[in-house]
Amino acid sequence: MPQRDQEIALLRDELEMLMSERQALLRVVGSAAVMVANLDSKRLPVGAIESADLVATMINHLSEETLQDALAAVNAEIEEDSASA
């Protein structure tokens, strides 16, 4: 049984590490989403526009739930345009 307990402890440690890493990644994605949402593309150099477009494309590929988790990780919300209401 001690080996089984050790395996369980190792799995628990691995799971905790993965959850911690997920939280860090959610904070990065949430911050990137806020940054992209606040960019004025007309004032950016071409290279920055291409980079922002790449980040926006990757964010758009996330599930709604993951994006909401990312925004919650940085205490941000996406405001809906008044035109779409």
Instruction: Give the model's confidence band at 46: pLDDT under 50 very low, under 70 low, under 90 confident, else very high.
Output: confident
pTM: 0.79
As given in the structure block, the two tokens for residue 15 are: 């799971």
How sure is the predictor about 82, in pLDDT bands with cuts at 50, 70 and 90? very low
Give the pLDDT confidence score for residue 81 in this predicted structure.
55
Q: What φ, ψ does residue 39 adopt, rounded to 5°? A: -75, 145
Residue 54 CA to chain centroid, in angstroms? 14
Q: How many Cβ atoms from other residues are within 10 Å of residue 32's Cβ? A: 17
